Amino acid sequence: MSVRGLLFYRAELEAGSRDATAPLVPFEKDVFDGRQVPDGFFSLDTSYFKLVQHPSAVHDLPDGLYSSQEDMQRVYYPELEALLKRETGARHAFVVGHLAREAHTPQNLLQASDAATEDLSRVVAAAIRGGDDSSGASRFGISGRPENQMNGSAALVHTDYEWDHKDRMIEWFTPGSDRHCEGGLAAWVDPRDNPYYDLHARTGLTPQDLRRCRIQVVNVWRAAEDFPLKRMPLALADQRTVSHLDAVSTPNEFNTHGAHGRVITLRPNNNFPTAVHTDKHTYWYFPDLQRDEAVLLKTYDSIDYDSGADYRMCWHTGFHDPTTPPECGPRHSCEARVVLITPYSDDGDRRLL
């Protein structure tokens, strides 16, 4: 069983081109129901995503997944650390940060058959920024939003990190480095203000130790309220149908909004991969996400970089499910990125301890 959705890719201006300035273009794709396949078909090491049952005490907080950073670190982050250690066998886990969203479906996607490609590209770009084309959010406004909360959804095919991102992550974890303040890149948190992000104090690991470790990042994505989640679900490309040759290195033009209103300017090479289209990509989604469910998607694994192998990735995007009831409210969702660290057995051996 599947639905047909418009997914936005980077255009190929000429055959084989990989140009980050190329416009986004829509492709109508089948997105298959991941609930209809046998247990074990998806995993973090094969498809790079899976659905898990994950009851959480965070829902019992007055503001749930829209709670303060302090409450999320106290209640939700330890739950995610335990979940991902159990799922992956990682030695260490900590949450880089979280982002709670509220998203409407851009009107142009609702009227896609009548919309010009350039209009669709414009509205998707605005939706990612939380701009006017995705406005109407009722929980919070675009200006002066609380930390860790934003409007809009990432409605383009992408993944979060490039092949060599391990180098940048090690700099994130190194106090005093130029990139240390970017450790909360996805979560609008400045780690200089928060002892939770003192990796050495928590684990005893040094930057030199990290180079002898496998580093993974797994995104935990779930509905935040108004269950089940119906609007703008997440489409996930099975990693087994993806090639690194489809990737376009795309500059990250956003600043990180740090604590206390500071804006942290990104250093060079904070690129992320977007994709050009190929018919080989097979997409899945998990409709009607419930309160006690979460989608895990692996957005980085340094084992490819460490071994010199081709980079494997999980393309993903928010998309408009045409079966969404018109009276359905906005999508309330929360994503958290969990960093997983496991030492290799020695510097020349990629077996894990």
pLDDT of residue 97: 81
Asked whether the bond before 228 is cis by omega within 30 degrees of 0, the reply is yes
pLDDT of residue 142: 39
Q: Is the pLDDT of residue 218 over 60?
A: yes
Confidence of residue 164 (pLDDT cuts 50, 70, 90): confident
Q: Is the pLDDT of residue 70 over 50?
A: yes
User: Within 13 Å, how many C-alpha atoms sit on residue 13's CB side?
Assistant: 8
pLDDT of residue 106: 67
Which structure tokens are listed for 59?
């829902």
Distance CA 305, CA 211 (A): 11
Comparing 32 with 257, the larger pLDDT belongs to 32
Of the candidates 151, 183, 182, 147, the one whose C-alpha atom is nearest the C-alpha of residue 68 is 147
Comparing 202 with 81, the larger pLDDT belongs to 81
Percent of the chain's residues with pLDDT above 70: 73
Comparing 20 with 88, the larger pLDDT belongs to 88
C-alpha distances in angstroms, 253 versus 81, 266, 288, 350? Answer: 30, 8, 32, 35
Distance CA 337, CA 101 (A): 14
Query: Is residue 158 a contact partner of residue 273, using CB atoms and an 8 Å limit?
Result: yes
Distance CA 341, CA 353 (A): 11
pLDDT of residue 260: 40
Sequence-distant (6+) residues with CB within 8 A of 107 are 123, 133
Q: Is the pLDDT of residue 152 over 60?
A: yes
Q: Is the pLDDT of residue 209 over 60?
A: yes
What is the mean pLDDT of the segment spanning 213-231?
Answer: 94
Largest CA distance in the chain: 58
Q: Is the pLDDT of residue 136 over 50?
A: no
| Region at 89 (left for phi over 0; alpha for psi -120 to 50; beta for the rest) | left
pLDDT of residue 133: 39
Distance CA 54, CA 83 (A): 8
39-60: per-residue pLDDT in tens? 999 999 999 999 999 999 999 9
Q: Is the pLDDT of residue 15 over 90?
A: no
Q: Is the pLDDT of residue 20 over 90?
A: no
pLDDT of residue 194: 78
pLDDT of residue 257: 44
Percent of the chain's residues with pLDDT above 90: 49
Instruction: Give pTM, 2 decimals.
Output: 0.86
Query: Is residue 330 a contact partner of residue 229, using CB atoms and an 8 Å limit?
Result: no
Confidence of residue 177 (pLDDT cuts 50, 70, 90): confident
Confidence of residue 309 (pLDDT cuts 50, 70, 90): very high
pLDDT of residue 282: 97
What is the mean pLDDT of the segment spanning 269-284?
Answer: 88
Q: Where is average pLDDT lowest: 99-113, 198-212, 339-353?
A: 99-113
What is the mean pLDDT of the segment spanning 207-218?
Answer: 94
Q: Where is average pLDDT lowest: 18-32, 279-293, 298-312?
A: 18-32
Q: Is the pLDDT of residue 138 over 50?
A: no
Sequence-distant (6+) residues with CB within 8 A of 305 are 163, 164, 165, 166, 311
